[in-house]
Amino acid sequence: MSGAVTIGVAAKATGVSAKMIRYYEEIGLLPPAGRTTSGYRLYGEEDLHALRFVRRSRDLGFSVEDIAGLLALWQDRSRASAQVKALALHHVADLRRRIAELEAMARTLASLADHCSGDARPDCPILDDLAAAHAPAPRRPVRARPPSR
């Protein structure tokens, strides 16, 4: 592998930590790296490009499973861009749903904080609410994949 770099150099060049690079290889997201005779991992330009792709995908909040699908689509030059767009739009909808959930949590906590006197007295509506027997929050559903075309 001429022009190949070690995992430390690959990590610095791509913004993906060496630990995460090893993890991605372990779970099969990325193929195992080539090795030197002494066992050091070596990464070529194509590997670095894939690592940057993974990093950007993670920055946009895609799950490891979604990144695996995106990588497969990226590497398949015969795929239709409609598949990629459908996956991206599905992710946008999921992000918007999660944002709405976070905004609702922020409103609830802000309201509780508004009702707390914040003085030396022990009574606290924030702790009272946390201790109250509320119905459990609904579990997040497993994300369905958009249909393949």
Q: 121 falls in which pLDDT band (50, 70, 90)?
A: confident
Query: What pTM value is reported for the model?
Result: 0.76
Closest CA to 16 of 45, 59, 70: 59
Both 86 and 56 in one domain: the answer is: no
Q: Does a structural domain hold residue 126?
A: yes
Q: Does a structural domain hold residue 72?
A: no
Q: What is the mean pLDDT of residues 76-101?
A: 95
Q: Does a structural domain hold residue 140?
A: no
Q: Does a structural domain hold residue 38?
A: yes
Mean pLDDT of the chain: 90
pLDDT at 120: 85
Question: Which residues form the domain of 12?
Answer: 7-60
Q: What is the mean pLDDT of residues 3-31?
A: 96
Both 85 and 53 in one domain: the answer is: no
Q: Does a structural domain hold residue 32?
A: yes
CATH number, residue 37: 1.10.1660.10
**Number of domains the chain contains:** 2
Q: Is 35 helix (H, G, I), strand (E, B) or coil?
A: strand
Q: Which residues contact 92 (CB under 8 A, 6 or more apart)?
A: none
Q: Does a structural domain hold residue 87?
A: yes
Q: 23 falls in which pLDDT band (50, 70, 90)?
A: very high
Q: 108 falls in which pLDDT band (50, 70, 90)?
A: very high
Q: Which residues contact 15 (CB under 8 A, 6 or more apart)?
A: 52, 55
Task: Return the ∠ at Cα 96 (arms to 93 and 97), rounded to 5°.
Answer: 85
DSSP state of 39: -
pLDDT at 86: 94
Both 50 and 94 in one domain: the answer is: no
pLDDT at 3: 83
Q: Which amino acid is at 9?
A: V
Both 56 and 92 in one domain: the answer is: no
pLDDT at 117: 86
Six token digits for residue 78: 């015969």
- Choose between 146 and 73: higher pLDDT: 73
Q: Does a structural domain hold residue 71?
A: no
Q: Does a structural domain hold residue 149?
A: no
Residue 145 has pLDDT above 70, yes or no: no
Q: What is the mean pLDDT of residues 12-39?
A: 95
